[in-house]
Amino acid sequence: MDEVTQKAQAWLNGNYDAETKAAVKRMLDAEDKTELIEAFYKDLEFGTGGLRGIMGVGSNRMNIYTVGAATQGLANYLKKQFADIPKISVVIGHDCRNNSRRFAEISANIFSANGIKVYLFNNLRPTPEVSFAIRTLGCQSGIIITASHNPKEYNGYKAYWNDGAQMVPPHDENVILEVENIKSVNEIRYKGNPDLIEIIGDNIDQLYIDQIKTIALSPKSIARNSDMKIVYTPIHGTGVRLIPRTLKAFGFKNIIHVPEQDVVSGDFPTVVSPNPEEPAALSLAVQKAKETNADIVMASDPDADRVGIAVKDDKGEWILVNGQQTALMLTYYLIRRWKELGKVTGKEFVVKTIVTTELIKTLAERNGVAIFDVYTGFKWIADIIKKEEGKRQYIGGGEESYGYLAQDFVRDKDAVSACAVIAEMAAWAKDNGLTVFELLQSIYLEYGYSKEKGISVTKKGKSGADEIKQMMVDFRANPPKELAGSRIVLIKDFGTLTATEPLTGKTSKLEMPVTSDVLQYFTEDGSKVSVRPSGTEPKIKFYVEVLGELKAKEDYDTAVKKADEKIEAVRKSLGV
């Protein structure tokens, strides 16, 4: 409490605006100190998704001072790292959220005040386009102001390096140190240099779309199904600018909009949460699909780096396809078409995260394609692409949380290109007499059936963070011996980079670039459970994957039911 009060007092006495000081004083004077503690008990820090937090006053909130400190710290680091080049440059983008434009312009002023050239997008843009622009313009870094799919009270700040990827160690950690070295708001240079700020927009849009057009693998299938009905919603976000345009550039003529959700708004008026993982976020789009007898529904999140889809099942009912299934189908489609086009030579690879379905590994290995497993966070997929450059050819990659990348001229998950490839995959399936749902079933029949489920336990605030930390301690100290009646045969602890076989006591080292607070349990019957605290939300996440049996399409419903029962048994074993 003394530390919190001391930090708040520094804001009260420091060079902060009157509105901020009034809010701090109100919190200090309040009898209930909960709000004060939440606002000041820590500083916002870079996690798997950069800087992210609730907007408001305080060191643990997104505001012009925490954004300012992050930008000043990044500017200081860039000037040290690139001291030998004549002009350091950065790209700045932002999404639709409240304060996003303001934070973007303040960041542009701070970079320019530090002598750094700024390319500032003229309006909201998809996150992947910022990555593309960094690479295209030869910049050393870039940021986008976004909180991705978080609720409306959040905003965030993603930082990128010169390869267009989000920062990995040591750069992310070094930037944090630079931010922490800023002891006073007076060290932040807010007075910008307009001569160093260049507004960009349409020219980059066209270059980006032209590049995406080059990744088409089935142009004849698109031509034969160009009138396929595609319902698309940006859920009030940045996708509205480029995704319909890109789909048309790919050759699709029948894009059906959801007018209420084409309205750009940081209040996300039609949804509780603008997250394409949530069924409610797609409900208006699915309703539109029913009205128009559409072929597929696609929804991007507010910064258009993630995409969720819905399709008709074998009974004609609309169902949501989860991120695991979409990643599996996209990987299958890309590898299949690369093989059919004679592009697989033995030097190709795909990437998935450790919590994404193991069926992708089976699929890749059976087709002679290398597979890399990386931590959650697309920066790790980008890191592999960078390390393999010149040695192997990247085919595609993805993660269970609805992020996919089917090309390497962007180095972050990309809903713009993913929507184009998903639509192409649907057209190709249609050309081959299959619906998207039947395509998924055929993959299960060929490579085996598994079902995955994510279970999130939310614990808010400082007390919640402490609870989550204790849960991880308890799982390490007392790991389960079995899950749903099947003995655990392997435990991977990425915190110590140790793999242990409980039945034999044998241990081995895990080859990963850094440690991470993740635990994985593998059972005799092929189940996999991953446990990790979220890097961007106040949650502890459990990722459950169980194997099932599917010998004929007619048995699909039975296989799903059995898998659901097994997942429920695993959940009970974990006590969550």
| The two structure tokens encoding residue 325 | 């299934």
In a domain? residue 16? no
Per-residue exposure over 363-398, b if at least 16 CB sit within 10 Å of its own CB, e if not: bbeebebbbbbbbbbbbbbbbbbbebeeebbbbbbb
Looking at the domain assignment, is residue 1 inside a domain?
no
The pLDDT value given to residue 46: 63
Question: What CATH number did the domain enclosing 124 receive?
Answer: 3.40.120.10
Please identify, among 447, 473, 501, the residue that sits at the C-terminal boundary of a domain. Answer: 447
Judgement on whether residues 426 and 358 belong to the same structural domain of the protein: yes
457 and 435 within one domain:
no
Low-confidence ranges of the chain (pLDDT < 70): 46-50, 535-536
The three-state secondary structure class of 43 is coil
Q: Single out the residue in 380, 415, 447 at which a domain terminates.
A: 447
CATH classification of the domain holding 477: 3.30.310
Residue with tokens 């932040």: 188
pTM (2 decimals)?
0.94
Domain end (from 431, 447, 463): 447
Residue 206 lies in a domain: no
Per-residue burial over 46-66, b if 16 or more Cβ lie within 10 Å, else e, is bbbbbbbbbbbbbbbbbbbbb
Residues 465 and 427 in one domain: no
Q: How far apart are CA 304 and CA 327, in angstroms?
A: 17
Q: Which of 89, 100, 107, 148 is catalytic?
A: 148
State residue 49's pLDDT score. Answer: 58
In terms of DSSP H, where are the helices of 30-126? 34-40, 64-81, 100-113
* CB-count burial class (<10 Å; 0-12, 13-18, 19+) for 478: exposed
| Cα–Cα distance list, 106 to 26, 102, 182 (Å) | 26, 6, 17
Does residue 211 lie within any of the structural domains?
no
Residue 508: active-site member: no
281 and 426 share one domain: yes
Residues 271, 377 within the same domain: yes
Q: Are residues 419 and 493 in the same domain?
A: no
Q: What is the secondary structure of 478-514 as a DSSP string?
A: S--SEETTEEEEEEEETTTTEEEETTTTEEEE---SS
Q: Is residue 20 part of a domain?
A: no
User: 442 and 526 share a domain?
Assistant: no
Q: Are residues 60 and 120 located together in one domain of the fold?
A: yes
Residue 439 sits in the same domain as residue 471: no
pLDDT of residue 460: 80
Same-domain check for residues 290 and 249: yes
* pLDDT value of position 164: 98
- Looking at the fold, whether 223 and 155 belong to one and the same domain comes out as no
The number of folded domains in the chain is 3
- Of 145, 93, 137, 83, the C-alpha closest to 114 is 83
pLDDT of residue 538: 81
Residue 180's pLDDT is 85
Contacts of 90 (CB under 8 A, 6+ apart): 78, 111, 116, 117, 118, 119, 134, 139, 140, 141, 142, 143
**Among all chains, which residue has been given the structure tokens 């843009």?**
125
Q: 136 is in which domain, residue-wise?
A: 42-200
Domain membership flag for residue 437: yes
- Would you say residue 15 lies in a domain? no
Question: Peptide bond preceding 170: is omega within 30 degrees of 0, i.e. cis?
Answer: yes
Is residue 19, in this structure, part of any structural domain at all? Answer: no
The span from the CA of 435 to the CA of 110, in Å, is 51
Residues 318 and 243 reside in one and the same domain:
yes
How far lies 188's CA from each of 75, 192, 418, 444, in Å? 10, 11, 38, 55
